[in-house]
A and B are shown apart, each in its own frame.
Chain A
Amino acid sequence: MSNNQYTRYLKDKYNINVIVDWTAATGNDFKQKVSLTIASGKLPDGMVVDDRSFMTKAASSGLLYDITDLFQQYQSSQVKDIMASTDGRALENASYKGKMVSIPNITVDTDGVHVLWIRKDWLDKLQLPVPKTVADIEKTAKAFMDSKLGGNKTIGIAGPSKNTYPYSTFLVSSNNMGGFDPIFGAMDAYPGYWLDNGDGSVTYGTTTDTTKKTLALLADWYKKGLIDPEVGTRDNVGDPINANQTGIFFGPWWNGGYGNGDSFKNDPTANWQAYPVYTDDSKWNAHMKTTGSTYTVISKNAKPDVVKAILIMNNALVRDEATFDLSVSVGWYPLRNVLAAANETEYEYAELLKVLKGETKPEDYNKPNSLYKLMYADAKKVQSVIKPPYEELNVGNFNTSNFGDFQRLYSILIGDRPFTTIPIDKKVFSVTYNQTPTMETKWANLKKMEDETVLKIILGQAPIDSFDKFVKDWKAQGGDEITAEVAGLLKK
């Protein structure tokens, strides 16, 4: 891992010699290793953490290098542009108490906007319209099940597995495959988010009446058998989707394409399309994510030269990653940190269509150091992957012979279409995406209560009225105290 195309490139071009202390598999293994490293107080010079609480814990313990000045000095114009595309939110996200203590990761805003993914070919078979509201989805799921389009074990709507969540939260605000986020949005509910009431006070979204109503609805669907009966206990939400047992699930732009690749392999006619879910009065409400979820932290004990090297590595990767051979897993690039302009997918969606329609040529995008670093590479590929007509893209328009290219372009052109072409009526941001001091001790307990209550209500193991008791307990066991702290953040 300390000898691959990326490390050799760093050595040749910048004379940066990377020594890898440790690696770990992604997911829980990685989190565990990061957590233990922080607990030991002995950080490597640079390390990527994938949870903001890791970064703030290390910062509040005084383990991190203040890179405020060095970053200003060494960031490339490209990195600067990408940072600017977030209107300062990325810098704030990477800072602790006003000091920049990590290199932020910036991902496209679309990662936080979850849409309805549905099998258009199944709709066509049953001559059904695209469902728009929650009531439409209920009817469609029932029709899919009654016609057994996914075989004898057809599932109406896929739901979260034991490692994903019923909805995104302020701490994990994006990429929630299989969650019910669009249903909550369509009911004007934003569980897991801290909501600004506009009068200086805040409310925790899970404790609201609209959340309670949505839970009652989901419980009703579960009882009617419309939701995956194994919701909450499955190993992987992708299993029934990839096995083509279901025609409906919710998730962000890349979930169709990257997320359900095997579904296309198992059934080349699986015409997954993405749409928003509307309220009864035709509004599209969406919760929005924070700028990114991983952070490159630099040890307080790192030598200034090492800090500079890490900043240069970041610049170099942003500029040249598109030129590397993608068959080598990017997981082996030491300190890889994704920096993408917040609107990258929308920009690519629009420009790639222009290329397809012949309005622009791939060469037009040959701009080194562009803010949109993958645009030129994608523009060169798009015509060989997508066949006309371009007005309404279906799975049949795509050539799957290079599956990696297919997945990327499917995700952008199908998955990102709603976000790019349909205005969102109400964008909801959480007042904070971080933990307050009291949360550090009390949140684990409150979150456990919340997870337990929500799942039990959906699965019908607890009556909907247990929600009221949960709200009362939640407030008494530290919720009120934390709410006051979050309200305090509003004043700043």
Chain B
Amino acid sequence: MRKLGHQKHYYLMLLPGMVWLVMFSIVPMFGILMAFQNYNPGAGLLQSQWVGLENFKYMFQLNDSKTVIVNTFIIAVGKIVLNLLIPLIFAILLNEIRSLRYKKLVQTVVYLPHFLSWVILSTIVIGIFGYYGVVNTVAGMFGFDPKLFMADSGIFRQLLIGTDVWKEFGYNSIIYLAALTGINLNLYEAAAIDGANRWQLIRHVTLPALTTTVVLLGVLSLGNVLNAGFDQVYNLYNPLVYSTGDILDTWVYRLGLQNLQYSLATAAGLFKSVISFVLIFISYRLAYRYADYTVF
């Protein structure tokens, strides 16, 4: 108790965060009850009719649910893998550049898209991949017929993943660049004396030093597997690409906010949360085992 008194200013600093957490994260959790009800806004959460697992049963009867779950997984896994690898490669290549000025310039330029929202970027992406966009113009010079990429369900997922990587790779590479500066320069010197060329330096010194970081980031992103990016998909998709582009989040949005099926949407959202929870649990275990990382 004396210890508590001694540290009271720390607890005081903790207070605003705790209040925030309770208000915006704990209290809204009661909304989950809706998933087991036929929710009626007039009656409220406590008086609405209870229907047990009805909403979940109906959800899995819909063909849509399978489509969106599959899409969510494919898009999210694609993004996670490429968002790990591309920044890694980029960071290593950037690290090899000797001109500090040029390095800084490149780094700044590739950061930029991270700070723009998908509302703005979607217009640019649609412009680039549109019928008269840059891609089709260039392809046209080589004799290809123009193609409407935004309406092609066959490549929509690749487009989502590709544009997301383009937006984020610069920003994601920061952590690798930080890790790179932490490598002991003596190691490079020693290897060079042993006759290692540049490629061998990367392979035997740089990469092993980065392994822990890659594993840690990879494992932690497991918990994000079901977040395939609402903003991006919502701003880019259209009915022509529902079959490959519709994800859990956009589906919940259409059900709940546009079609007022609050209970069904909550059930779908809860389903997503439960899976995410399990994945986060697993990823923390793995992070501890392979990267010796724990939050608590």
Interchain CB contact under 8 A, A441 and B264 = yes
| Cβ A235 vs Cβ B123 within 8 A | yes
Which among A31, A39, A461 is the interface contact of B258 at CB below 8 angstroms? A31
Residues of B contacting A: mostly: helix
A452 touches B151 (CB 8 A): no
- Of the listed stretches A103-111, A379-387, A389-397, A442-450, chain B binds A442-450
Which B residues are CB-close (under 8 A) to A232?
151, 238-240
- B146 is an interface residue with CB less than 8 A from chain A: yes
Q: State A239–B258 Cα separation when bound (angstroms).
A: 26
Residue of A39, A153, A235 near B41 (CB, 8 A) is A39
A153-B62 in contact (CB<8A): no
Query: Does A254 make an interface contact (CB < 8 A)?
Result: no
Looking at the assembled complex, report how far the CB atom of A315 sits from the nearest CB atom of chain B, in whole angstroms.
29
- Asked if B41 contacts A40 (CB within 8 A), the reply is yes
Question: A41: which B residues are within 8 A, CB to CB?
Answer: 41-44
Q: Are B260 and A440 within 8 A (Cβ)?
A: yes
In the bound assembly, the distance between CA atoms of A441 and B265 in angstroms comes to 11
Asked whether A266 is an interface residue with its Cβ less than 8 Å from the other chain, the reply is no
Complex contacts, A443 vs chain B, CB 8 Å: 259
In the complex, A61 has a CB within 8 A of chain B: yes
Interface residues on A, range: 35 or more
Chain B residues with CB under 8 Å of A16's CB are none
* Residue in A36, A38, A230, A456 whose beta carbon sits within 8 Å of that of B130 in the complex: A230
Would you call A53 an interface residue if the criterion is a C-beta within 8 Å of the partner chain's C-beta atoms?
yes
Question: Is A35 close to B, CB under 8 A?
Answer: yes
Minimum C-beta distance from B174 to chain A (A): 32
| A58 at interface, CB cutoff 8 A | yes
Q: How far apart are A170's CB and chain B's nearest CB, in angstroms?
A: 15
B64 in the interface (beta carbon within 8 A): yes
Q: Does B148 belong to the interface (CB within 8 Å)?
A: yes
- A54 in the interface (beta carbon within 8 A): yes
Contact A441 B44 (CB under 8 A): no
Asked whether, in the complex, the Cβ of B148 is within 8 Å of the Cβ of A230, the reply is: yes
- Judging by beta carbons under 8 Å apart, are B257 and A445 in contact? no
Contact bitstring B235-259, A, C-beta under 8 A = 1, else 0: 0001110110000000000111111
- For residue A32, CB closer than 8 A to chain B, the reply is yes
Contact A452 B261 (CB under 8 A): no
Contact yes or no, A445 B262, CB < 8 A? no
In the complex, A233 has a CB within 8 A of chain B? yes
Chain A residues near B131: list those with CB within 8 A. 229-230
A456-469 vs B, CB cutoff 8 Å, 1 = contact: the mask equals: 10010100000000
Interface residue B288 (Cβ < 8 Å from any Cβ of A)? no
Q: Are A35 and B151 in contact (CB under 8 A)?
A: no
Asked whether, in the complex, the Cβ of A233 is within 8 Å of the Cβ of B259, the reply is no
CA gap between A459 and B153 in the complex, in Å: 12
Query: Do the beta carbons of B240 and A455 come within 8 Å of each other?
Result: yes
Q: Could you tell me the distance between the alpha carbons of A422 and B234 in the complex, rounded to whole angstroms? A: 43
Return the CB mask of B96-124 against A: 1 if under 8 Å, else 0.
00000000000000000000000000110
Q: Can you name the residue of chain A whose Cβ is closest to the Cβ of B64?
A: A445
Chain A contacts with B in 101-149, Cβ cutoff 8 A? none
Distance (whole angstroms) from the CB of B90 to the closest CB of chain A = 31
B123-A61 in contact (CB<8A): no
Give Cα A319–Cα B27 distance, bound, in whole angstroms: 47
CB pair A31–B257 under 8 Å, yes or no, is yes
* Binary interface encoding of chain B residues 79-103 relative to chain A, with 1 for a CB under 8 A from any of its CBs, else 0: 0000000000000000000000000
- What chain B residues lie within 8 Å of A54 (beta carbons)? 260
Query: Which residues of chain A are within 8 angstroms of B217 by Cβ–Cβ distance?
Result: none
Q: Give the docked Cα–Cα distance between A38 and B42 (Å).
A: 9
Q: How far is the CA of A441 from the CA of B261 in the complex (A)?
A: 7
Asked if A215 is an interface residue, CB under 8 A from chain B, the answer is no
- Is A38 in contact with B260, judged by CB distance below 8 angstroms? yes
Contact status A233-B261, CB under 8 Å: no
B9-56 interface (Cβ within 8 A of A): 39-44
Looking at the complex, which one of B63, B151, B260 makes contact with A459 (CB distance below 8 Å)? B151
Output the least CB separation between B49 and chain A (Å). 12
Set of chain B residues within 8 Å of A441, measured between Cβ atoms: 58, 261, 264
Q: Which residues of B contact A61 (CB under 8 A)?
A: 40-43
| B260 interface neighbour in A35, A229, A445, Cβ under 8 Å | A35
Q: In whole Å, how far is A32's beta carbon from the nearest beta carbon of chain B?
A: 5
- Cβ-closest chain B residue relative to A300: B42
Name which residue of chain B comes closest to A152, CB basis: B132
Chain B residues contacting A230 (CB-CB under 8 Å) are 130-132, 148, 150
| Inter-chain contact B259/A235, CB cutoff 8 Å | no
Q: How far is the CA of A415 from the CA of B130 in the complex (A)?
A: 31
Instruction: State A444–B252 Cα separation when bound (angstroms).
Output: 11
Contacts of A36 in B (CB 8 A): 257
Chain A residues closer than 8 Å to B254, beta-carbon distance: 444, 448
Residues of A within 8 A of B146 (CB): 229
* Min distance, Cβ B126 to any Cβ of chain A, angstroms: 6
Provided the pairs A61-B43, A448-B64, A461-B151 are in contact, do residues A32 and B239 lie with their beta carbons within 8 angstroms? Answer: no
Measured CB to CB, the nearest residue on chain A to B122 is: A235
Q: Which of A35, A233, A452 is close to B148, meaning CB atoms less than 8 Å apart?
A: A233
> Would A53 and B260 count as touching, CB distance under 8 A?
yes
**CA separation between A36 and B44, bound complex, in Å?**
13
The digit string for A213-237, where 1 denotes a CB below 8 A from any CB of B, is: 0000000000000000110111100
Q: Which residues from chain A contact B130 at a C-beta distance below 8 Å?
A: 230, 233-234
**B240 and A456 contacting across the interface, CB-CB below 8 Å:** yes
Query: Closest CB of chain B to A93's CB: distance in Å?
Result: 18
Given known A-B contacts A39-B262, A233-B151, A452-B240, A63 and B123 have beta carbons under 8 A apart: no
B residues less than 8 Å from A229 (CB atoms): 131, 146, 148
Docked pose: A41 CA to B31 CA in angstroms: 13
Residue contact B42 to A455, C-beta cutoff 8 Å:
no
B132 pairs with A153, CB closer than 8 A: yes
Most buried by A among B130, B151, B262: B151
Complex Cα spacing A230 to B166, Å: 24
Measured CA separation A32–B254 after assembly (Å) = 10
B258-287 to A contact mask, C-beta < 8 Å, 1/0: 111110100000000000000000000000
Residue pair B257, A35 in contact (C-beta under 8 Å): yes
Q: Which of B41, B239, B260, B264 contacts A63 (CB 8 A)?
A: B41
**Chain B residue at smallest Cβ distance from A161:** B238
- Determine if B238 and A162 form an interchain contact, defined as CB atoms under 8 angstroms apart: yes
CB-defined contacts of A57 to chain B, threshold 8 Å: 41, 260
Given contacts A31-B257, A153-B132, A455-B238, 12 further A-B contacts (CB under 8 A): A35-B256, A38-B260, A39-B41, A39-B262, A41-B43, A232-B239, A233-B130, A234-B130, A445-B64, A451-B239, A452-B242, A455-B151
26 contacts between A and B (CB under 8 A): A31-B258, A35-B258, A41-B42, A41-B44, A58-B41, A63-B41, A230-B130, A230-B132, A230-B150, A232-B239, A232-B240, A233-B240, A234-B126, A235-B123, A441-B261, A444-B255, A444-B258, A445-B62, A448-B239, A448-B242, A451-B239, A452-B243, A455-B240, A456-B240, A461-B151, A461-B240
A interface with B by C-beta (< 8 Å)? 31-32, 35-36, 38-41, 53-54, 57-58, 61-63, 153, 162, 229-230, 232-235, 440-441, 443-445, 448, 451-452, 455-456, 459, 461
Q: State the 9 A-B residue pairs at the shortest beta-carbon distance, nearest first.
A: A61-B42, A62-B42, A41-B41, A451-B239, A233-B150, A444-B259, A162-B238, A229-B131, A61-B41
